[in-house]
Structure 1
């Protein structure tokens, strides 16, 4: 296969571009039938590196390009040549090009060339082109040296491979690409890919139960949590996990400072109560985040990720804006380790949902790429948590392969089906039921291979909700088919017999198995077998119109 190389770098205070060896650099490109490796060999110190390796690829009229998104929430799906990828939206771009609260850092908008034409797409770490039932898989073996980026131009019939290596200066050989290629059926291709990487999930046990977020959000209290715990323990025997989400702490970042108005007895007695019911106790944290106004920010500004101007940078709009903790700071690492020791060993929680993990790797730091920072962040969390369990969220997928037990693979579900804003206003990581559905369908390749996938919640209550009862049943069945984390956020005491039956069916152990998936113009049809009987689930992804269930 012929490849075109374009390599740009800085040496001797000059920006240079080469396509082959010169006096500054040479390249080692090794190809095989199942992939390639590209290494740059500097002959002197070089920096400001960018590059791509491009090849021809003949797309068919009905070819579909699977574009894996940057992190958990980034919209991920198969695209046709008649579609265009979204970008950070008008809110993310901000007024006069200044992104409010660093919203543009939530995704890949600051370091990837964003496609602006129909038929132009990009993927992070792995992608495929599907022609009928076969896929051509293109996947990275290792993004620790930087995020691998795969560009598809279905108009010019090209594939382009690149890597985000911004921020590093090198004097020694540096691996730019290590790619795996495969062709075949969807499941077979991904089976071979993960076998080649020797990656396996850390558990095969599904999570079934409750999380507080999607009913109360931050408005939780000890009374609410214990009430819902008591209700669920009386009404069903299907649950194994009960999770407390955001709202117990006085501020994001100040994890050991409990809001005593809402939780007067602290967190250990609640974990004990959860254990008395026979459940695993889960707790939400965003260990790399610190909101504006927290004690962490005011007392330890040196712990925060800083921009080129030396000032802390906001990395998202949640909680009125928040900053990222720099885990290369020894004192910050010691603080985070102490938080986990307290939560897991003193309070007694068994599982931690760790959110907004992308935050430590939004800008290159300390002569490390974003990819290297992401890998080191996950390695650090695994060290902190030890043999307790992690549910990852808001994080790049590949650094978590084989490192976390469970993983959110889509956007947050909304409390209704349709997107709450016009699509061109919002970024690709925004709360969105349609995006959560698409991500669950098209990242199913990770479930049971890299970790167990969390497609987000199903909700069956009749209040504080904007789904119809029929849509709720469809989403519950969808979550059952695609998920290994089966959470709801309702007070089960309010369920009638029909709602309780749907809840128990969703959590029941049976042999529900997907047979085929077909999508055309956002009309999704899922053929599956449950308890030996064939069924089809059909609905419109964008508006929730139901065709069959």
Structure 2
């Protein structure tokens, strides 16, 4: 069969449009062998736009036929199908919203709906698209929301397809690996057209070897001012939810801040999550028992206690309403109602058997109320970071002649109007294409958890389930969005020992992946309770690493290699999310006359070595072990710098290394700020061959204008293994 990129350019396709006029249902179904098809009531046109040799666009338009009367046409289905070759491909399956699991799939993968019994009991189906988009559950019959890409095992290039019109409806890409059928599906249900309307939507198709290049092409077409996204601040900090949940109090927040201040951790954000309000939706009614001094007092305390270094953040679910809220009692007309006259159940939270309702964003009084809430929270209380959650609640059913996707787009538009650039905004529980270039940050995963996975919900096919495994899968697969579409929020990591079922390997994996792939890196621990090893790990996340991702290689199911550069040096981080050990070798680049020696700084939570360092010669071809749920990071040595122990990404803590003097015998090392490391840091340098016999190599070294506390030459690492070349160890005492 013809490859998909060529198939999409061909005229041959099958199109299906379902619609309703009055009470009559119609279907336009035809072979689309030209640029236009029509029936008595509708005309569908297709237009191809050539952008460059490997990029083009397709636009579809639906227009009522004017001479057939002025009756309103309510669209129900739009789908266009192509026949191609998919058997040797993998395909990205983007989940419906931020919490929905996202990963590459292939001919053996399944994407089933939530089991009906589980959905009936838990109402977890309300958090996804299970009730309006069919999940086949058959092997190799998969779908993706908003965009997708395909990899051919025989071709290193990637074919990317992305919607250019999520403002008027959700877009889906459907693949059937067995039959070779590929569908573009538009969720147009509820979209109503008058005789004068034309409904247009389009897609970008582009091909390249590099994912970052593909996403930049997409962003340049999709986002009017994509440069603003890359200027977002990196945020480290704390959120109350994953330690105190709804029971959080003013004292809990202040006690947690005290730990950061005592240990001099330079966090950027302290965010108060759910639990401060009397009821969901009644945001200005603060619980007087748990927060006796009010929310303005707490925001001021956050700024005062951190000497203005940390922003005050707060959580809101602007379109959600609790069943016990004053809003429901006093303003029932503000709610979204179903066609049967009953108020919409928008989700299962805040009461497993009750859930919550949704506000109608098109009601003028609702908009006025939300404006009052945002003005108070931002201007009066002083919170300059807003985590806005459960955004999907506003767009669960089509209404007012708009599709679900159109309502979702309007919801994000409303958020921007309410905030008016007075605070940074993090979106959560939202379809990601509606936020690209429109919100500052967005969650890219479900909620992480102090346990690895929820086996019952996994078996029940809940793609939005709370679990660390589920969060990591989506974080790893959504990495290209960071600093291109928005700032990635991979949710929190856990270092603490208390109230935590994660193993040492699992905690370390979460710390490393979140810090590598997130523009935000938050946690909920009380650092005052940390052990020395936990302090070592947390302090080694400062300053927040900024990397340039090259690519991510899936090596096996749930096993990944991240290739990136940091501070101009190449790194590989190997991640094993599977329950089985995995063995691998590091790339040997000696054929390119480059170094094939790697430095590894191991998980400091492991107490078997201090400091836990090693050097690996890739030419030896040794098989390295990844334990289940383990992560290992390797820096390839490309100059005399041979490793360090001051950061989870060795070398990031170095801002510069300058050698001066007649024989370059003076070395000045400047450390990157802000630092939090209180223990000795070891810096390692390779001894040049022509100076191998000298005993005072690097003795004239200054680290932040201080002499090292000790200088030693080493030939073995801390495990007793031979180091491939002689090195010198500099010990820096802060």
- When normalised by structure 2's length, the TM-score is 0.71
Partner of 2:203: 179
Partner of 1:36: 58
Structure 2 CA distance, aligned partners of 1:261 and 1:112?
44
Work out which of the residue numbers 611, 615, 629 in structure 2 matches 1:545.
629
Deviations 1:25-63 (Å, cap 9, x if unpaired)?
1122112341211111112432243121111221242x1
Partner of 2:267: 239
The number of residues matched between the two structures is 543
Partner of 1:406: 441
Partner of 1:313: 344
Q: 8 Å contact 1:255–1:339 — kept in the other structure?
A: yes
Partner of 1:299: 330
Structure 1 CA distance, aligned partners of 2:515 and 2:281?
34
Work out which of the residue numbers 186, 191, 202 in structure 2 matches 1:163.
186
Q: 8 Å contact 1:207–1:485 — kept in the other structure?
A: yes
CA distance 1:404–1:48, change in 2 (3 Å): closer
Partner of 1:474: 509
| Per-residue deviation, 1:137 | 0.8
Q: Map 1:102-113 to 2 at 5 A.
A: 103-113=124-134
Partner of 1:208: 236
State the secondary structure of the residue aligned to 1:150: strand
Q: 8 Å contact 2:87–2:180 — kept in the other structure?
A: no
Structure 1 CA distance, aligned partners of 2:45 and 2:424?
41
Structure 2 CA distance, aligned partners of 1:371 and 1:12?
23
State the secondary structure of the residue aligned to 1:506: coil
Structure 1 CA distance, aligned partners of 2:327 and 2:115?
31
Q: Tell which deviates more after alignment, 382-391 or 413-422.
A: 413-422
Q: Tell which deviates more after alignment, 536-545 or 353-362.
A: 536-545
| Per-residue deviation, 1:125 | 1.1
Structure 1 CA distance, aligned partners of 2:537 and 2:631?
19
CA distance 1:151–1:21, change in 2 (3 Å): same
Structure showing greater radius of gyration is: 2
| Per-residue deviation, 1:23 | 1.8
Partner of 2:606: none
Partner of 1:285: 316
Work out which of the residue numbers 453, 469, 474 in structure 2 matches 1:434.
469
CA distance 1:445–1:534, change in 2 (3 Å): closer
Structure 1 CA distance, aligned partners of 2:74 and 2:573?
54
Q: Is 1:396–2:431 an aligned residue pair?
A: yes
Partner of 2:559: 523
Q: Map 1:504-515 to 2 at 5 A.
A: 504-515=539-550
Structure 2 CA distance, aligned partners of 1:378 and 1:53?
28
| Per-residue deviation, 1:266 | 0.6
Deviations 1:461-488 (Å, cap 9, x if unpaired)?
1100011123212211111111111001
| Per-residue deviation, 1:515 | 4.0
Partner of 1:143: 166
Structure 2 CA distance, aligned partners of 1:534 and 1:397?
29
Task: Name which structure has the greater RCO, CA cutoff 8 Å, separation 6+.
Answer: 1
Q: Map 1:249-264 to 2 at 5 A.
A: 249-264=277-292
CA distance 1:248–1:8, change in 2 (3 Å): same
Q: Is 1:362–2:396 an aligned residue pair?
A: yes
Partner of 1:89: 115
Q: 8 Å contact 1:539–1:548 — kept in the other structure?
A: no
Structure 2 CA distance, aligned partners of 1:421 and 1:236?
41
Structure 1 CA distance, aligned partners of 2:234 and 2:564?
19
Partner of 1:70: 96
CA distance 1:448–1:511, change in 2 (3 Å): closer
| Per-residue deviation, 1:450 | 1.1
Q: Tell which deviates more after alignment, 539-548 or 194-203.
A: 539-548
| Per-residue deviation, 1:12 | 5.8
Structure 2 CA distance, aligned partners of 1:367 and 1:5?
23
Structure 2 CA distance, aligned partners of 1:31 and 1:363?
32
| Per-residue deviation, 1:347 | 0.5
CA distance 1:297–1:432, change in 2 (3 Å): same
Q: Tell which deviates more after alignment, 22-31 or 532-541.
A: 532-541
Q: Which runs of 5+ in 1 are unaligned?
A: none
- When normalised by structure 1's length, the TM-score is 0.95
Structure 2 CA distance, aligned partners of 1:41 and 1:533?
53
Q: Tell which deviates more after alignment, 241-250 or 430-439.
A: 430-439
| Per-residue deviation, 1:443 | 1.2
Structure 2 CA distance, aligned partners of 1:436 and 1:542?
16
Q: 8 Å contact 2:260–2:266 — kept in the other structure?
A: no
Q: 8 Å contact 1:417–1:542 — kept in the other structure?
A: no
State the secondary structure of the residue aligned to 2:350: helix
CA distance 1:12–1:90, change in 2 (3 Å): closer
Q: 8 Å contact 1:90–1:426 — kept in the other structure?
A: no
Deviations 1:165-199 (Å, cap 9, x if unpaired)?
11132123433531100011211111111112235
Work out which of the residue numbers 482, 504, 524 in structure 2 matches 1:489.
524
CA distance 1:181–1:330, change in 2 (3 Å): same
Q: Is 1:192–2:228 an aligned residue pair?
A: no
State the secondary structure of the residue aligned to 1:7: strand
Partner of 2:41: 24
Q: 8 Å contact 2:126–2:348 — kept in the other structure?
A: no
Q: 8 Å contact 2:515–2:545 — kept in the other structure?
A: no
| Per-residue deviation, 1:257 | 0.7
| Per-residue deviation, 1:272 | 0.4
Structure 2 CA distance, aligned partners of 1:530 and 1:537?
16
Q: 8 Å contact 1:523–1:540 — kept in the other structure?
A: yes
Q: 8 Å contact 2:168–2:405 — kept in the other structure?
A: yes
Work out which of the residue numbers 116, 120, 132 in structure 1 matches 2:141.
120
Structure 2 CA distance, aligned partners of 1:90 and 1:8?
27
Q: 8 Å contact 1:141–1:178 — kept in the other structure?
A: yes
Structure 1 CA distance, aligned partners of 2:291 and 2:631?
45
| Per-residue deviation, 1:312 | 0.7
CA distance 1:511–1:294, change in 2 (3 Å): closer
Structure 2 CA distance, aligned partners of 1:541 and 1:377?
38
| Per-residue deviation, 1:90 | 3.9
Work out which of the residue numbers 522, 536, 543 in structure 1 matches 2:573.
536
| Per-residue deviation, 1:530 | 4.6
Structure 1 CA distance, aligned partners of 2:140 and 2:520?
34
State the secondary structure of the residue aligned to 1:364: coil
Q: 8 Å contact 1:409–1:440 — kept in the other structure?
A: yes
CA distance 1:541–1:270, change in 2 (3 Å): farther
Q: 8 Å contact 2:47–2:59 — kept in the other structure?
A: yes
